[in-house]
């Protein structure tokens, strides 16, 4: 059984950028619901249940599609994705990390996007253009190069063996209580709580995945 991670900071710690009520509902209700449905889908598949969510999505083609029927595949893709993506989201935010890229990732971002400021502009643009629910992603692609795109719903970069370094949830539940329909304000505010040391750690993990 997978379990809900506890936050490494208080629910209110990201205020005023992400409010405590949103954090409570997002973590305690939405993330919990993905987890419960993910575990339910795994209940008759003990071999798949042994995998981490990350590995289950990474090996979806060769392990899930060969051992589960279509309805279970869909549940594992949607709820496994939802579970894993929120694990990542809580991990890459903090009340007081570096607010721009550090280490080798800083160099890689400057090389790919000219500057951190240009990267931020492109990231927000992609997140704005995601129609409806989804996520904007910074990933390491199959050649271990940085790539930037959005995906709908809980479709995971991991399904394409792309390692997610950083992602921003643009489902309305991520911002509606505080920002209502103002997705641009949310997408500006989030940069005040992203922890680029944690994102650098993910970059290093992705290079060796």
Q: Which residues bind Mn ion (CB under 5 A)?
A: 169, 171, 174
DSSP letters of 105-155? HHHHHHHHHSSHHHHHHHHHHHHHH--SSEEEEEEE-TTS-EEEEEEETT-
- How far lies 1's CA from each of 29, 48, 172, in Å? 18, 11, 28
Min dist. Cβ of residue 85 to Mn ion (A): 7
> Which has the closest alpha carbon to 173: 30, 6, 28?
30
Q: How far is the CB of 73 from Mn ion (least distance, A)?
A: 22
Residue with smaller CB distance to Mn ion, 57 or 101: 57
Asked if the bond preceding 57 is cis, omega within 30° of 0, the reply is no
Instruction: Give least dist CB 142 to Mn ion, A.
Output: 26
Nearer to Mn ion, 29 or 145 (CB): 29
Q: How far is the CB of 8 from Mn ion (least distance, A)?
A: 18
Q: Which of 101, 174 has the CB closer to Mn ion?
A: 174
CB closer to Mn ion out of 113 and 179: 179
Q: How many CA atoms lie within 13 A of 74 on its CB side?
A: 2
Q: How far is the CB of 154 from Mn ion (least distance, A)?
A: 9
Nearer to Mn ion by Cβ, of 124 and 168: the residue is 168
Q: How many CB atoms lie within 10 A of CB 14?
A: 21
> Residue 43: is it exposed, middle or buried by C-beta count within 10 angstroms (0-12/13-18/19+)?
exposed
Specify the residue, 155 or 169, whose C-beta has the smaller distance to Mn ion: 169
Q: How far is the CB of 178 from Mn ion (least distance, A)?
A: 14
> CA of 124: how far to CAs of 95, 100, 105, 147, 194, in Å?
21, 15, 19, 14, 14
Candidates 193, 189, 8, 190; CA nearest to 97 is 193
């Amino acid at each position: 059984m997978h379990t809900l991670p506890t936050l490494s900071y208080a629910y209110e710690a990201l205020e005023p950028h992400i409010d405590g009520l949103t954090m409570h509902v997002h973590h305690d209700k939405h993330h919990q619901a993905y987890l419960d449905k993910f575990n339910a889908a795994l209940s008759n598949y003990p071999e798949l249940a042994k995998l981490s969510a990350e590995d289950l999505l990474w090996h979806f083609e060769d392990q899930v599609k060969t051992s589960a029927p279509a309805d279970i595949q869909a549940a594992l893709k949607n709820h496994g994705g939802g579970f894993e993506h929120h694990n990542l989201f809580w991990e890459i935010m903090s009340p007081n990390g570096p607010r721009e890229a550090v280490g080798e990732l800083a160099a890689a971002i400057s090389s790919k996007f000219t500057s951190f400021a240009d990267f931020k502009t492109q990231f927000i643009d992609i997140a704005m253009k995601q129609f409806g629910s989804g996520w904007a992603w910074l990933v390491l692609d199959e050649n271990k190069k940085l790539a930037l795109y959005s995906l709908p719903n809980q479709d995971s970069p991991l399904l394409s063996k792309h390692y997610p370094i950083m992602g921003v949830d643009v489902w309305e539940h991520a911002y509606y209580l505080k920002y209502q329909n103002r997705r641009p304000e949310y997408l500006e505010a989030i940069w005040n709580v992203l922890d680029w040391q944690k994102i650098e750690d993910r970059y290093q993990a992705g290079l060796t995945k």
